[in-house]
């Protein structure tokens, strides 16, 4: 129930940005990453349960290795080389189990200090054009990241999103 309540609050934040509601949203992400953040991780991915797939050559795999949940076992955020105008697909692997715990796509992914079930809230923005795109919120529930809200943003809402989140630091490996 707590997760759904928080998801509702995050959906509210998406409505604020879309211009269909007015109020103050004060939760700011602590970091972000995108296609330019990933570096070749190569042999660092050995031991992770990575499935063979189109667009992924393990020896040239790009990603970010960072501890998302604070267990001192860094997660792997793997970039799948199928990037397009809306960003890149990413897969998240748990550092403890080495299994995939989520998939997301975006031109920008924000990581929040606020956590659900011990894992940070993630928000993504995938551009559809220069002035519009999809804004999603993901939370960790039932062993994986899942989308809990999605809203399309246009014009000033896109500009406002990036202005609000501009203090986030880029995650790099």
pLDDT grade for 89, boundaries at 50, 70 and 90? confident
Residue 12 has pLDDT above 90, yes or no: no
pLDDT value of residue 173:
53
The predicted model gives 140-165 an average pLDDT of: 93
112/108 Cα distance (integer angstroms): 13
| Secondary structure (3-state) at 126 | strand
With cut-offs at 50, 70 and 90, classify the pLDDT of residue 51.
low
pLDDT at 96: 94
> CB-based burial of residue 58 (10 Å sphere; 0-12 exposed, 13-18 middle, 19+ buried)?
middle
> What's the pTM value of the predicted model, to 2 decimals?
0.79
Q: Over the chain, what is the mean pLDDT?
A: 78
């Amino acid at each position: 129930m707590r997760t759904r309540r928080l998801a509702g609050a995050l959906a509210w934040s998406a409505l604020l940005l879309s211009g269909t509601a007015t109020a103050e949203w004060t939760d700011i992400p602590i970091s972000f990453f995108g296609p330019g953040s990933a570096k070749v991780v190569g042999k660092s991915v050995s031991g992770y349960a990575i499935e063979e797939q189109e667009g992924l050559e393990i020896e040239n795999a790009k990603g970010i290795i960072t501890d998302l949940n604070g267990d001192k076992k860094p997660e792997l955020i793997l970039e799948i080389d199928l990037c397009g105008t809306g960003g890149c697909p990413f897969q998240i692997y748990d550092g403890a189990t080495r299994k995939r715990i989520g998939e997301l796509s975006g031109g920008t992914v924000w990581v929040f200090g606020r956590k659900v079930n011990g894992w940070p809230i993630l928000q993504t923005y995938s551009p559809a054009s220069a002035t519009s795109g999809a804004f999603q919120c993901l939370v960790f529930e039932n062993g994986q990241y899942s989308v809990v809200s999605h809203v399309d943003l246009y014009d000033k809402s896109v500009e406002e999103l990036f202005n609000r989140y501009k203090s986030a630091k880029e995650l790099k490996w």
